[in-house]
Amino acid sequence: MLRLNIAKASQAFFEDSLSATDLCKACLKRADFVRPLNPFVNVTKEKSLRQSEESSRRHKKGESRSILDGIPIAVKDNFCTVGVPTTCGSRMLVDFVPPYNATVVERLENAGAVVIGKTNLDEFAMGSGTVDSVHGPTFNVWGSSLPYTVGGVKRHPCDQQPRISGGSSGGSAVAVATGACFAALGSDTGGSTRNPASYCGIVGLKPTYGRVSRHGLIPLVNSMDVPGILTRSVSDAANVLNVISGCDPLDSTTVTEESPQVVLGDQLNLCGLTVGIPREYHCPGLHPEVLQAWTEVAQLLEEGGANVKQVSMPHTDLSIVCYSVLNQCEVASNMARYDGLQYGHRADTNVSTEQLFADTRSQALGLVVRSRILTGNYFLLKSNYEKYFEQAMKVRRLIAEDFAAVWRDGVDLLLTPTTLSPAPPFNKFTSLSNREQCDTQDYCTQPANMAGCPAVSLPVCLSEDHLPIGLQLIAPNFCEQTLLSVALWLEKSLEFPQLELIDV
């Protein structure tokens, strides 16, 4: 039953050949089985069973709320969940229990979805590997010691070293990839949904900025944060998007116009579609196998009738530097609330208010978070504001204009790598600083956040080491219909071999 997609599971509920309770129990069992990988920080067993039983009763009465009614879904642990701890992977919030739900969580539950648990992440979502969490790292299922098959063939371990899951939504990606849930919420500020999706061989969707509410998503960078969706198929991502998107009075950045539903058909004619290949995304460090996959998929689109042409995005290589400045400026602002006075960890200090602030932060915030706060405050000094923050905002406008220029030129979609390589070994990845990790891993994903464009990563093939390789499609703002339609066409054409765990 864990191999079904959302539509088929929903149909099975309708036909009474499967109950939401049985499906929930199967996911809970799988979540327990994959604990060595550490995808969950909190499995909400009692709550999910109660929700699944309520869903089963609705199905029996013919009162299903939506296609997600009874579907187990996980939530990244930086979305507020009423009555359930929301830690952001930090000691600062390890005891924080929100009194309200994030809007996306509320919409999922109103649609009947079963929230199975909270997933691991880099502390406050500041990372690209899910290695900097107070709950410990999350490891990739691909190349792990857990028994699995790929396309019906028993796994081929690439080496004895565990692989990173990607980040910062690594817990959500592993939960979906292992079948512990059918979908998971992530967040995406510079690639934090698409990056782990690529490494874990699943679909990762970053909607257009403003299409999905950020209310209740504990902020990292307000001007770029977007709730993301991780699933095993493109159609599943579309089904979740249709439920959680739309205007929210609690988030002034959501668009007021009603978001049209994404409807995916069985057939898509690529004739008349123009796909751009940005030359600047062929960057230093791009793995030869990723380049080969990129070339072959571009050729596949061309053979399918699309017009594939090379385009230029001349400011791409400035994106990471620009992001580093803007990210740390907004981090410094957002993190000012963690002072030990209102909520979160509080140091046992009574010398002075300033000492309380210092002790609270040094005890409860990791090195990565503290370094970004300090750097951001430096950029925001009166003597540095124009030199760093204002210049970065100007560069951001240039990067956004790169996207606007290719859309004006008639390009419907961009095809790029997602990550520069398959998932690296954990030890090799952690030997780099957080800055080096993000500079490398976010190169191809981050520019879309600057422009607010929707983007999706989908698995296209396996490397020689039998690890997933993902590619990314980027579309103009609010063009998720085209984006996911072409992604579905590629998914059907490529037939990426699915990973299946062998429960023992």
Q: Which residue numbers are catalytic? A: 76, 168, 192
Q: Indicate the residue type of 256.
A: T
Q: In whole angstroms, how far apart are CA 13 and each of 7, 53, 114, 231, 243?
A: 10, 12, 14, 20, 19
Q: Which helix (H) or strand (E) holds 308?
A: strand 307-311
Residue 63: phi and psi, rounded to 5, are -120, 35
> Among residues 459, 478, 479, which one has the least CA distance to residue 469?
459
Pairwise CA distance, residues 323 & 458, whole Å: 24
Q: How far is CA 164 from the centre of its chain?
A: 15
Written as six digits, the tokens of 298 are: 């571009």
Pairwise CA distance, residues 446 & 41, whole Å: 27
How many residues does the structure list for the chain?
A: 504
Collapsing DSSP states into helix, strand and coil, what is residue 231?
strand
Pairwise CA distance, residues 58 & 270, whole Å: 41
Pairwise CA distance, residues 304 & 297, whole Å: 10
Q: Which helix (H) or strand (E) holds 416?
A: strand 413-417
Residue 102: phi and psi, rounded to 5, are -60, 150
Enumerate the β-bridge partners of residue 43. Answer: 117
Count the neighbouring beta carbons within 10 Å of the beta carbon of residue 498.
18
Pairing of strands 226-231, 183-188: antiparallel
Pairwise CA distance, residues 467 & 151, whole Å: 13
User: Sign of the CA dihedral 137, 142, 144, 150?
Assistant: positive
Complete edge-to-edge strand list for the sheet that includes strand 468-474? 40-43, 114-119, 72-76, 183-188, 226-231, 203-206, 455-462, 468-474, 413-417, 274-278, 307-311
Collapsing DSSP states into helix, strand and coil, what is residue 147?
coil
- Measured CA angle at 456 (ends 402, 497), to 5 deg: 140
Pairing of strands 274-278, 148-150: unpaired
